[in-house]
Amino acid sequence: MVRFGIVGAKGIANKFARDIKYVDNAYISAVAARNEFDALKYQEIFQTEFAFSSYEAMAKSDKIDAVYIATPHNFHHSIVLLFLENKKHVLVEKPIALNYREYEEIERKAIKNNVLLMEAMWTLFLPATTFVKNLLSDKTLGRVKKAEITLGYQLPEHYPKDGRLLNKSLAGGSLLDLGIYPLSFYNFIKQCPRTKIILTNYTFKTITH
């Protein structure tokens, strides 16, 4: 049984707690937040055994085997390194890092400590994605030469300018927050058998009022 710890007690972390109930051999054992109030609130709602008011305390504890990191992107690098250094398996929300230098560092740390490091790119596990993979791998199709991947997202009417999706200090913006989906899907289809992408385009549109 894999004991998961949760880093970040809001938003997507709540969905993770809801959905892990459908996973065999895994459960949430602990939660860590930047303050005690948020940690205890999450613990009460989802009935976790342990709550920590610091990420360091949970990383150094023996209460978890793996961690799910659900913080804003700009915190991923330091938090991932913290848990890898303490030999915990890491599942981190996309994007796994802000740049290639950060990724190389955490990859080296994972290899050194012999632990799993994985980006939570959920779209790669959808039935539709499996269908596309099988379609591209089918011998009746020729090689794919061009991929046009478009992702559109309409922001709420009164979305604040300093909100996470637009806030550069929180690594918001089209590329790191939502543009990563078409980029990830492009890399996915490029690796499918009988696929040879020679040109790709992707478009990201943010619509505001």
List pLDDT tens digits, range 167-197. Answer: 888 887 777 877 888 888 888 887 877 666 5
The share of the chain scoring above pLDDT 90, in percent, equals 54
Same-domain check for residues 116 and 127: no
The share of the chain scoring above pLDDT 70, in percent, equals 92
Identify whether the C-beta of residue 77 lies closer than 8 Å to the C-beta of residue 24: no
Identify whether the C-beta of residue 67 lies closer than 8 Å to the C-beta of residue 94: no
Given 74, 94, 120, the domain boundary residue is 120
Same-domain check for residues 27 and 101: yes
- Measure Cα distances from 118 to 56, 63, 66, 68, 103 in Å: 20, 20, 11, 10, 11
Same-domain check for residues 108 and 190: no
pLDDT at position 133 over 80 = yes
Confidence of residue 141 (pLDDT cuts 50, 70, 90): confident
Pairwise CA distance, residues 83 & 55, whole Å: 9
pLDDT one-digit tens code per residue, 38-76: 999 999 999 999 999 999 999 999 999 999 999 988 999
Same-domain check for residues 194 and 92: no
Same-domain check for residues 45 and 23: yes
pLDDT one-digit tens code per residue, 76-110: 999 999 999 999 999 999 999 999 999 999 999 99
Pairwise CA distance, residues 68 & 58, whole Å: 12
Confidence of residue 121 (pLDDT cuts 50, 70, 90): very high
Report pLDDT for 209: 36
Q: How many domains does the chain have?
A: 2
Same-domain check for residues 84 and 9: yes
Report pLDDT for 57: 96
Same-domain check for residues 9 and 79: yes
Same-domain check for residues 203 and 145: yes
Same-domain check for residues 128 and 42: no
Same-domain check for residues 25 and 109: yes
Pairwise CA distance, residues 166 & 169, whole Å: 9
Spatial CB neighbours of 64, under 8 Å, sequence gap ≥ 6: 3, 4, 5, 29, 30, 58, 88
Range of the domain at 165: 123-207
Pairwise CA distance, residues 91 & 93, whole Å: 7
Same-domain check for residues 129 and 86: no
Report pLDDT for 206: 42
Given 120, 149, 169, the domain boundary residue is 120
